[in-house]
Amino acid sequence: MPAVPVVLSAERHREAAEVFGGAYLVGPVTDRMWSRSAATYKGSTVHAVLEDDDSIGAVARAFDVTLAVPGGCVPAAGVSSVGVRADRRRRGHLRSLMTAQLEHLRAAGAVAATLRATEATIYERFGYGVASSYGTLTVDRARARLRAGAAPERALRLVNPTAALQLLPQVHDRLVRSRPGAISRPTWWWTNQVARMLDKDEPLWVLCTEDGDGEVDGWVVYTATHTDTASGEHRAQVSVIDLVGATPEVELALWQAAMAIDLAETVVAQGRPLDDGLPLALVDPRAARLSAVEDETWLRLLDVPTALSARTYGSADAVVLGVDDQLVPGNSGRYRVGPDGAERTEAAVEVEIGVSELASVYLGGTRFAALATAGRVRGDAPALRRADLLFAADRAPWSGTYF
């Protein structure tokens, strides 16, 4: 039996980062790396399994975020930097960490936890389910032209990246509230993701859209690599690092701006939502291709009653879910979910669902009927249809924030 995990004090955070770096195969933590990562760890709760000689055998980090859900938002935790030392694997360290972390986060009032998984076979056993997916959008600029009337003209402002580091964090969390799955970005996220690129002397541009009052309501952050033609003509590939808009219309205006960058042959954006509006708005929809689709958000509902009450539902007759949560038995039980909300009930169960599958349907990104076909939920067809209508969301879930 591994020792019960402890919460590490700040003095041992660098040691924890070393253990994670080794497990994640990124190697030793240099002073330069630590000058960036220290703030990340300081802003987190770090659980560790200590070995008999007091060395760290395994670590997991969690930090506070706000998670947007359909019609609202909940306090949540981002879980990251999970690693077990190579000489301590497959003896239950991860299970101890996940159990301790889950209890800690529940006690702290987090309604859900979200993570990005290195492997898709690890986290379901701890109640996590895939709640959003993303893909790479590759735009062939020579073919890409917006349809008439798509994306109204918007004022653009090129912002110096250093100034953007001050400006964008002030508006990001407000802008993304209407996208289920979006999370607030901690201060250290901005420093790590953007400042790291500035450190590397990579070119970086930030083009912002403005609303009628001159306030920033979206941005595209991009870099470029050069791909000169065989005849020596100067060409480039533009790589979009971040494209965030207050509304789908603003996002289209940002795409328009990205597609208008002269000398670019292709514009490539990784990690785009499955309902990115660009392909439908193009005269030639094949000018923008979505590829490399994979899981983004792994979600764990820590407090099922609060989570179910925190979101809004579509129009359909109510359905009674029978939820099963092996790790947190208090979450198990019957819930009546209808257009007016969700509450515990004693009524007969119509759809049986595990807590990991409940996480997958919670943001509207997966259908009950599809899970039933896969043998992962049970219920008759009319009940599944009502559940799908109730849990459907206006926009595909998407976090857009990698950590």
Any known ligand binding at 143? Answer: no
Asked if residue 354 binds ligand ACO (CB under 6 A), the reply is no
Both tokens of residue 239?
């790589």
Q: Does residue 123 carry a catalytic annotation?
A: yes
Whether residue 300 contacts residue 113, with contact meaning beta carbons closer than 8 Å, is answered with: yes
Q: Does residue 391 carry a catalytic annotation?
A: no
Any known ligand binding at 84? Answer: yes
Closer residue to ligand ACO, CB minimum distance, 83 or 181: 83
Counting every residue, how long is the chain?
A: 403
Any known ligand binding at 204? Answer: no
Asked if residue 359 binds ligand ACO (CB under 6 A), the reply is no
Q: Write down the least CB distance from residue 63 to ligand ACO, Å.
A: 12
d(CA 86, CA 24): 10
Any known ligand binding at 13? Answer: no
Taking Cα atoms as reference points, which of 127, 130, 129, 132 lies closest to residue 324? 127
Q: Enumerate residues 12-41 that contact ligand ACO by CB under 6 A.
A: 23-24
Asked if residue 363 binds ligand ACO (CB under 6 A), the reply is no
x/- mask, ligand ACO, residues 39-78, rule CB under 6 A, reads: -------------------x--------------------
x/- mask, ligand ACO, residues 74-113, rule CB under 6 A, reads: -----xxxxxx----xxxxxxx------------------
Asked if residue 401 binds ligand ACO (CB under 6 A), the reply is no
Any known ligand binding at 92? Answer: yes
Closer residue to ligand ACO, CB minimum distance, 114 or 209: 114
d(CA 39, CA 58): 20
Which whole-number Å values give the CA distances from 149 to 144, 146, 281, 283, 363, in the listed order? Answer: 15, 8, 9, 11, 31
d(CA 186, CA 169): 9
Q: Write down the least CB distance from residue 116 to ligand ACO, Å.
A: 6
Closer residue to ligand ACO, CB minimum distance, 89 or 376: 89
Q: Write down the least CB distance from residue 57 to ligand ACO, Å.
A: 8
Any known ligand binding at 47? Answer: no
Asked if residue 297 binds ligand ACO (CB under 6 A), the reply is no
Asked if residue 402 binds ligand ACO (CB under 6 A), the reply is no
Write down the catalytic residue from 20, 41, 63, 123.
Answer: 123
Count of residues touching ligand ACO (by CB under 6 A): 24
User: 324-341 burial by CB neighbour count: b if 16+ within 10 A, else e?
Assistant: ebebbeebebbbbbbeee
Q: Nearest residue by C-beta to ligand ACO?
A: 94
Whether residue 131 contacts residue 181, with contact meaning beta carbons closer than 8 Å, is answered with: yes
Candidates 3, 122, 195, 261; binder of ligand ACO (CB under 6 A) is 122
Q: Write down the least CB distance from residue 94 to ligand ACO, Å.
A: 3
Any known ligand binding at 83? Answer: yes
Site of interaction with ligand ACO (CB under 6 A): 23-24, 58, 79-84, 89-95, 115-119, 121-122, 125
Known binding residues for acetyl-CoA: 82-84, 90-95, 118-119
Q: Which residues are catalytic?
A: 123, 403
